[in-house]
Amino acid sequence: MRSTQASAAVTRLNARDPAHRYSMAITAKGWFYLLRAVEGAPAEKISGELPLEEFVAFANQIGPKKKRKLSKLDIAFESQLEAKRKAPS
């Protein structure tokens, strides 16, 4: 189950960044590290050996970020929050 969270993070990363191919590896101690490959080149290690939580956080930070879809209600709510922040207390 531990590797399921890590592999899901790598899958999300591959979906966000189609220019590279990412994969993970697990050491004998149960630590994870991230590999990145460009077509025609060998995979390179781009992270150190990390525990599960840190590996997932690292994989989520790399690559382009997925744009968040905003509804009209989300935009209206954010503008209300911004107005509250600017209003004197």
Question: What pLDDT digit, counting tens, does each position of 14-62 carry?
Answer: 998 888 899 999 999 989 999 998 888 888 899 889 999 999 999 988 8
State the residue range of the domain holding 54: 2-86
Q: What is the pTM of this model?
A: 0.68
Which pLDDT belongs to residue 24? 92
How many domains, in total, are found in the chain? 1
Helix (H) or strand (E) holding 6: helix 2-16
Quote the pLDDT of residue 73: 92
Length of the chain: 89
